[in-house]
A = this chain, B = another copy of it.
Amino acid sequence: MKVSIKLADLTTDGILSAACPSRIVLDHVTSKWGVLVLVALSEQSLRWGELRRMVEGVSEKMLAQTLKVLEQDGFVLRVAQPTIPPRVDYSLTDRGRELTDRLLPLMEWITANAGEILA
C-alpha cells in the first residue's frame, strides 16, 4: 500500500478545492448518520436491528442508505446469512478501522466538552 510521506497541505491542494475527490468521502463520513454508525461499529460487529436500536433516532431508510454508502467506500463489511429469518451482520473493514482510529478521539473530545460548549 502506498502511503504518501508528505503530510498533504490541506489548505493548498487538498480538501478546500471544490473539485477535490476528498470532498465526496468527507461528505460520506460526516453525513448525519455516518459518523454515528461508524462509532457504533467501532466497538463491535452489529446486526441490522442492533444498529437501528443503538443509533437512536435513525430511520430505517437512512440507516440503509448510510450503510450502503459506507459499504461502497469500503469502510463497512456486510455479511448476510441466507437464513429464515434473515440475519445480516455489519462490521468495520481494515480501512474502516483506520478511519475510526482517527474519528474516535474527535468524538470523545466532543462528547466530553459538549456540555461546556453549549452552556
User: Which 7 residue pairs of A and B lie closest in terms of their CB atoms, listed nearest first?
Assistant: A22-B114, A30-B30, A18-B56, A18-B57, A102-B106, A22-B111, A21-B114
A24 in the interface, Cβ–Cβ < 8 Å? yes
Chain B residues within 8 Å of A5, by CB: 108-109, 112
Decide: A10 near B111, CB < 8 A? Known: A74-B117, A117-B73. Answer: yes
Chain B residues within 8 Å of A114, by CB: 20-22, 24-25
Copies of this chain in the oligomer: 2
In the complex, how many residues of chain A place their beta carbon closer than 8 angstroms to a beta carbon of chain B?
54
A7 in the interface, Cβ–Cβ < 8 Å? yes
| Chain B minimum-CB-distance residue to A99 | B109
